[in-house]
Structure 1
Amino acid sequence: MISLLCNVFVGIFLIVNIKQGDSLYVFKTKYFDTKLDHFNFLSNATFKLRYLINDTYWSPKSDSPIFFYTGNEGDITVFAQNTGFMWEIAPDFKALIVFAEHRYYGESLPFGNKSREPEHLGYLSSSQALMDYVELIAELKQNKQDNRHPVIVFGGSYGGMLAAWMRMKYPGTVAGAIAASAPIWQFTDMTPCNVYNRVLTSAFSLASRRCSDNIRKSWKAIDNITKTDDGKSWLNNTWRLCKPIKTSQNVSTLKDYLNDMYSNLAMVNYPYPATFLADLPPYPVRAFCENLRYEDLEGTKLLTALFSGVSLYFNYTGKAKCLDYSGAYQQGLDDTLWQYQACTEMVMPMCADGRYDMFEPSEWNLTEYAQNCYKTYKATPQPWLVKNLYGGKNIHTVSNIIFSNGLLDPWSSGGVLRNVSATAQAIIMPDTAHHLDLRSSNPNDPMSVIIARRYYRYIIRYWISQ
C-alpha cells in the first residue's frame, strides 16, 4: 500500500532550499485563532494558525497591497525563505508580506500532537485552508469593510493551486494570483494518467536520449541481477546499500526510491546548486545522465553507470556512508498528512507504459487505490471533488490569475498551458523546472524566467490599480 501511495504522490510537492549565499529573510511569527470548521454554523471550536509577517515597507494608512503566500503542505518558514521573488518586489510596492501556514502542517496543529491521528484528520482540506486564509486577511485589514489594501496571493506547486483557487472562489478578497507550477488539472477526466511520466522522461531525454533509454532498460537489469544470491550480493556491494537486498519487497522499495529520485531531479533541475535531501549541482539531470549517454550499456555495466548518477543524488558531498533506499518513504514533507489529502480530494491518477516513458508499465487502478486509502485512513477518495469545487477546465470566466509553468517540470503536465480568459493567462518557460520563477533572482536564471518576473511586476501593478 505504501508503495502505491508513494509512487503516485510522495515527492509531488517538495521543499527545495536554494543555495544563494546566506540571504535570509526577516519576519515576525504570529498566531491567528481560526475556526476548526468554517462550514458548520454550530461549531465554535478554534485553533491557532501560524503566520509570518514583515511590515518593513508597509504603511497601513495608505493603499499599499498585501502580498500573501498561501502555505503548502509543510513548515511555512521554509517557504518564506525560498520565495525570494515576493521579498524582492515588496519594497517597490510598499507591500505587507505575509506567509500563512496550511492547517495541520508545521505548528498549525488543530489537535496538537494528535493532529496526525486518522480520527482527527477530517478537517484537513483545501476548502478549510482557503477559508483560514480569507479570515486571516480580514483580520490583517483590521476592518472587514476595508478594501484599501488589495491582496495579491502567491503560491508554488500545491500552494500555487491554492492561490489560483483562492482568486476563483473569493474574488472579493483577492485581487490577483501568481500560481506557479500549479497542476490544477492533474485530476480525473482532465489529464491522462500517463502525461506526467512522459514529461518527466522528456527532461532526461533532453539531457541525452540514450540516458532515458538506459533508465528504461535498468528496471529489467535490476530484476535480472536480483534473481540470484550472487547478483544480490553484487548489487548490495556495488550500490553500497545500507539495507541489503534480500527479498522481492526490498527490490520494490529500491525501485520506489529510484522513481522518487527521477521526479525530484527533474523538479530541481535548476541552473544553480540546490539542496534537497542532499546537495545537488547545477542542472542535476544533465549531471546524472553523464555516464548514461552510451549505447552499449547492459547488465552490470548499465547498473554501474546508473549508480554513478544515483550517487550524485544521495552523496554529492561524499559524506553519505551508504544508500538508504528506504528513504523512498521519508520525504521532507509530512507524508501522513499529504497522503491523507491524496486519499480524499487530491486524487491525481498516474500510470506508465514503458514505451513512451522510461518507467515500468503500471496501470492506474482506482479500486485498489481506494481500498488502500480506506485501510489506512478509513477515507474514500473522491476523484471528482476538486473538479466540482473549483470548476475543472470550465474556468473561462475567471480573471487576474497568472498560471506559470516550466516545461522541464513534470508537473507542467497538469498545469494550465494556455490562456483561459483575457486576464487569466498562461506563462510558459521552456527551459525552467519547478516554480523557479518564485525563487530569488540568480545570475544563472534563464531569460524566460527573467522576462516572466518582469511581467509579474507589471501585471501586479495593473491588478492593484483596478
Structure 2
Amino acid sequence: MKHFGLLLASSFIVVCSATFRRLTVDPVALRERKRAEPRVGDETIYGWSTAYYDVPIDNFAFTSAQTYRMKYLYNLTYYELGGPIFFYTGNEGSIEEFAKNTGIMFDLAEKFKAAVFFAEHRYYGASMPFGNISYTNANYLGYLSSTQALADFAKLITFIKTDVLKCPPDTPVIAFGGSYGGMLAAWLRMKYPHIVSGAWSSSAPLLYFEGGNVSPSAFEKAVKEVFINAGCNENTIANGLEAIKNLMNTAEGRQFLNDLFRIDPTSTLTESTDSDFLVEWIWAAMDYMAMVNYPYPSNFLQPLPGWPYSCENFARSEITDARQAATALYQISNVYYNFTGNVATNCVNWNVCGESAIANLGADAGWSWQTCTELVLMMCSEGPPNDFFDNQCENYNGPVEIQIALCAAEFTRAGWNREFLDVNAVAIEYGFDYAAASNIIFTNGNLDPWSPGGVYANTPGIQEATKNGIYTFLIDGSAHHLDLRQPNTCDPPSVKNARFQITNIIDCWVHKNSCSNLPNATPLPPAGSENPQNCKSDLFGYPWGQMQTMLHSVWSVCFFLILYGTIGSTRKLRLLSDPVARSFVKNVKAASTDPIYSWSTAFFDVPINNFAYINTQKFAMKYLYNNTYYKIGGPIFFYAGNEAAIEGFAENTGIMFDLAPRFNASIVFAEHRYYGESKPFGDLSYSGIMFDLAPRFNASIVFAEHRYYGESKPFGDLSYSDVKNLGFLTSTQAMADFAKFLPHFKANVLNCSSDTPVIAFGGSYGGMLAAWFRIKYPHIVTGAWASSAPVLLFKGANVDPGAFDKVVTEDFIEAGCNREAVYKAFNAIHELASTTAGLTFLNEMFVIEAKSNLTQASDADYLVSFIREAFGYLAM
C-alpha cells in the first residue's frame, strides 16, 4: 500500500509532501524509537542471551572475503539434547522486538525441550554489514535482500548445530516467522529443505506481488472493513477526510487543525497542500491499528488498548459538521499515536520528522529499499466504495508507476535507478505455486488487512501439496500474527484451537512416531481457558482447553525431506580435474559439422550479480534452441549448461532432440556463465537424447550456456583476470540466470503459456545443476533428468574420499589391466626422477614440452598426477 502526495505538472512528477517518502506500509513496522511512556501489556516474560556470528556480506559471489556480525538471541532454558531447534527468521526491525512479541516459541519450548533462537535480518537492528554507512549508497545497501538473508540464516543454523549446541546434524529445525518474517520462514523451508524441517508462516503476504493475482486495493478494502465492523461510521470517516481538505483552504481552518491535532511547531500546517501530510498521518494510524487489533492491550507498534476501541465513544454515528468530523478523525488517530496521553505534540511533516512521524521505520530505510528492488508490493488505494482514501490505482497509472516515482524520490541520490526495481523477482525466485512445497503451516487472520495476500486452500498447488505436509488456517477473529504471540486468556477460542492443531503438526515433524494424531481439517470444539474480563498471559497452557480425545486423522500426510550433500574435497595435484573430461572440452566439434541435430543461437541479458542490487551490470548469456518439433502445449526441454561452451553439450545430448517430437517440445541449451561465449566481463556424458526425444514430445529444445564458459563471459576477455571479476562464477548465480531466462523464453520466444512444462536435462556437473535447479526453483522447472551427477561427493554426504579412484581402479582391472604392473610403473617414475638420466628419459618418453620439463625429483608428482588424471577420464 502506498501513501504519498504527488502533483503532476508539465509531465513532471513533483514531490510536494513528505508522504512521498512512505514507500509502502511495512508489514510489521517495528522500529527503534524512544518511549517515555510506560509499557502497556506485552510484559517481557522470557529472557535470552545475545551473540553474534560472522557471515559473508555477499553469500553468492567470491569477490571478497568480507563478513559482518549478524546478531542473534537464544534461550536454552528448556533445551535437552535430542530436542528440536525453534528458529525465528528475523524481519524488518531489531530482533529484540520480535522476541518480545513471539511468545509462542518460548511457551512451546518447554513442551518440546527445544532450543530457541531469533536471528536478526541483515541491515536491521545491530546487524549492519557496513556499520554506520550501510545505508549511504547502493554499493553498501545493495546486499540487502531476502535471498541474502535466507543464506545468512542457513549458515547460522549449521553453525548452531555444530558449535553452539553440538547436537546431531539431523536435529529437527522448525522455522517461525510473522508477516515478512513469515514469508522468510516459508521461503527458508522451500529453498533449504535439507536445513529446515518445517515452518510456521504466520500472516505472510506471499501473494502481494506481480503474478500473485491479488487485487492491489485489497489491503485498503480490508482496513475499511475492520473499522466498519468495529462500529465506525463509514460516512463520518469520509466526511472527516473531506473536511480536512476543505479546512486547509483557509488560514482559520489551518489554525483549527493545528490546534486540534496538537501539531508540533516544526511541522505546522501553513499551506493548503499540507493536507497531504495530515491525511497521510491519519491514514497510517488507521492502517496500523487495523493490523494490530489484538483483543488485549499491547505495545507491538505503539501502546494500544484492546480492540475494538477506536470508535468506542466517537464516529459511531454520521457526523456532517466539518469541524466535528475532523475531530472524530483526530480521536481515532490519537488512539494510535497517544493512547497513554503522554505525547504533548505531533510532528506530521515527514520532511521534518522523518519516518518517526508515523512511528514507522525510524532511521532505517531498509524496508523501503527492499520494496524498491526485489519485494515490489502490488498495492494502491482505489477510493470509495472500495476504501476510505484516494484512487491511487487510477490517478497514478497503477502500483508500478507509483513505486517508480516513490523510489526515485527516495533513493536516486543513493544510486538507485529504474532497473533496480525487479517487479518479477518474487515470481522468479520463489513463485506462487506451492505444489512442490512441503512441511509449511500458513496461518492468516480474518481481521488482518494483509490476509488477502496470504496462502489458502485455493492457492495454486496447495491441494497437491497437502500430501506433503502443507496446512492452511484462516483464523476467525485473529489479527496480524496474533497466533505467534504469547497465549493470553483473552485470545479468541479460534486462535487457541489453531495453536493446538499447529502444535500437533509440529510434534509430528519433530517426532515422526506422533503423526497418527494429526489434526482434523475442521476446527475442533473450543473449550477451556478463555477469560475476556481478565486478560493475562496463559503460560505453558497447552492444550489450551482443547479436547485431545476428539482428534481424528482425516488424511495421511507424507513428509519429504530433500537431502543432498554440501561442499567437497579435492585430490592432491589434481586441482584442474572436473567431472567433464578436459579432453572433451578441448575437442568440441563445431555445430555445423554434425548432420543429425541443428539449432539456432541467441543471447539473453542477465545480471552479473543476481543477488545484490549494487549496480545494473549485465552480460549476454548464450543459448541454443530448436523448435522443429515444438507445438503450442508442448513442453520445454531445457539443458542447464555446465563447464564448457554450450555447443559441445548440445552435440552430445541427443535424447532431448529424440524425445521432442513425441512431446511437441521446445529444446533449449543455456550456456553457463564464464564458459563458451557467456563471459560476464569482456563436458558431458553424451547428450543427443534430447534431440532424439524431441519428435516424440513435440518439444522445444534449449541449451543455455553456463556463465563464464563458451561465449557467456560476464566481463569479456577480463572475466578470468582477477577475483573481482571471477567471483561471480558460482552454481547459484548460474541457476538464477537460468531462472530468469526461462520466463523470457516462454513469453518472448515461444509465446506460450506460462505454465508450459519445463524438463531440465544435465549430465555430470550439468546433472548436478539440473537437480539443484528443480530443488531451488520447483515453480519454474517441472522435472529434471540428472545424469551421472556426483551430488554427494562433498563434505557431509559421507562418501569415501577414495571412492572415485577405487572405481577407476576396478574399471581398469575389469578391462584386463594388471594392478601390480601399474603400481610398479608409478614407483618406477619416482625412482627414475631421482637421477638426471632418469629425468631425461621421462621427458623424452612422455614428450613433455620444454616449458614444463621435469628438472628435479619432486617433479615426478606432477607427472604421476597427469597420468592419474588420464586414467580417471578414460574410466569416465
State TM-score, norm by structure 2.
0.51
Matched, 1:123 2:143: yes
Which amino acid counterpart does residue 349 of structure 1 have in structure 2? M
CA contact (8 A) 1:288 1:310 kept: no
Identify the residue that residue 347 of structure 1 maps to in structure 2: 376
Query: Gaps spanning 5+ residues in structure 1: where?
Result: none
Aligned match of 1:384: 424
Larger Rg: 2
Q: Determine the structure 2 residue equivalent to 1:40.
A: 61
- 1:62-211 residue pairs with structure 2 within 5 A? 62=82, 64-118=83-137, 119-142=139-162, 146-190=168-212, 191-208=214-231, 211=233
- 1:343 maps to amino acid: C
Aligned match of 1:219 in 226, 241, 266?
A: 241
How far off is 1:289 after superposition?
A: 5.2
Q: What SS does the aligned partner of 2:311 have?
A: helix
Q: Secondary structure at the match of 2:27?
A: coil
Report the secondary structure of 2:240's partner residue: helix
Q: Distance in 2 between matches of 1:66 and 1:33?
A: 20
- Per-residue deviation, 1:92: 1.0
Distance 1:261 1:104, change over 3 A: same
2:361 counterpart of 1:333:
yes
- Is the CA contact (8 Å cut-off) linking 2:42 and 2:101 kept in structure 1? no
Question: Residue 223 of structure 2: SS of its match in structure 1?
Answer: helix
Q: Deviations over 1:375-395 (max 9, x none)?
A: 514332111101110012x11
Structure 1: which amino acid aligns with 2:324? K
CA distance in 2 between partners of 1:236 and 1:203 (Å) = 28
Q: Is the 8 Å Cα contact of residues 183 and 413 (structure 1) preserved in structure 2?
A: yes
Q: CA deviation at 1:5?
A: 4.8
Q: CA deviation at 1:366?
A: 1.9
Q: Which residue of 2 aligns with 1:324?
A: 347
Across the two proteins, how many residue pairs are aligned to each other?
A: 460
1:412 and 2:434 correspond: no
**Which residue does the alignment assign to 2:288?**
264
What are structure 2's unaligned runs of at least 5 residues?
Answer: 1-14, 32-37, 513-876
Deviations 1:103-136 (A, max 9, x none): 1111111111111112311111000000000001
CA deviation profile, 1:340-379 (whole Å, cap 9, x unmatched): 1111011112222222211122123423522442451433
Superposition deviation, residue 225 in structure 1: 0.9
One-letter code aligned to 1:26? G
How far 1:424 sits from its partner (Å)?
1.6
Report the CA distance between 1:281 and its aligned residue.
1.1
Q: Post-superposition shift, 1:37?
A: 0.9
Residue 32 of structure 1: CA displacement? 0.7
User: 1:301 maps to what in 2?
Assistant: 324
Q: Superposition pairs for residues 394-409 of structure 1, below 5 Å?
A: 394-409=433-448
1:3 to 19, 24, 46: 19
Contact 1:33 / 1:47 at 8 angstroms: preserved in 2?
A: yes
Structure 1 residues 22 and 203, CA, compared in 2 at 3 Å: closer, same or farther?
closer
The secondary structure found in structure 2 opposite 1:325 is coil
- Describe the superposition over 1:44-84 as per-residue Cα deviations: whole angstroms up to 9, x where unpaired: 22111111111222233x3x110000001111111112110
Higher relative CO (Cα under 8 Å, sequence separation at least 6) belongs to 1
Root-mean-square deviation (CA, aligned residues, Å) is: 2.2
Residue 14 of structure 1 is matched in structure 2 by: 29
Give SS of 1:279's match: coil
* Cα distance between partner residues in 1 of 2:44 and 2:295: 18
Deviates more, 1:356-365 or 1:77-86: 356-365
- Residue 233 (str. 1) matches residue 259 (str. 2): no
Task: Calculate percent identity across the aligned residue pairs.
Answer: 38
Letter matched to residue 315 of structure 1: N
Distance 1:122 1:328 in 2: 22
SS of 1:67's equivalent? strand
- Partners of 1:305 and 1:443 lie apart in 2 by 32
Name whichever structure is richer in helix by fraction: 1
Task: Classify the secondary structure of the residue corresponding to 1:205.
Answer: helix
Cα separation, 1, equivalents of 2:354 and 2:497:
36
Over 3 Å counting, the alpha-carbon distance change for 1:372 and 1:318 in structure 2 is closer
Contact 2:263 2:348 in 1 (8 A): yes
Equivalent residue runs for 1:359-378 within 5 Å: 359-363=389-393, 364-375=398-409, 376=411, 377-378=414-415
> In 2, distance between residues paired with 1:197 and 1:90?
37
**What is aligned with 2:741?**
none
How many Å apart are 1:86 and its aligned residue? 0.2
2:46 equivalent in structure 1: 25
Give deviations 1:180-202, integer Å, cap 9, x for gaps. 11001111231121111111111
After TM superposition, the structure 1 = structure 2 runs for residues 414-433 of structure 1, keeping only pairs within 5 Å, are 414-418=453-457, 420=462, 421-422=465-466, 423-433=469-479
3-state SS of paired residue (2:177): strand
State which of 250, 264, 274 in structure 2 corresponds to 1:250: 274
Contact 1:288–1:312 (Cα < 8 Å) also in 2:
no
SS of residue paired to 2:314: helix
Residues 19 and 286 (structure 1), Cα distance of their counterparts in 2 relative to 1, 3 Å cut: closer
Task: Determine the structure 2 residue equivalent to 1:358.
Answer: 388
Offset at residue 286 of structure 1 (A): 3.6
Which residue is 2:481 aligned to?
435
Q: Which SS does the other structure have where 2:221 is aligned?
A: helix
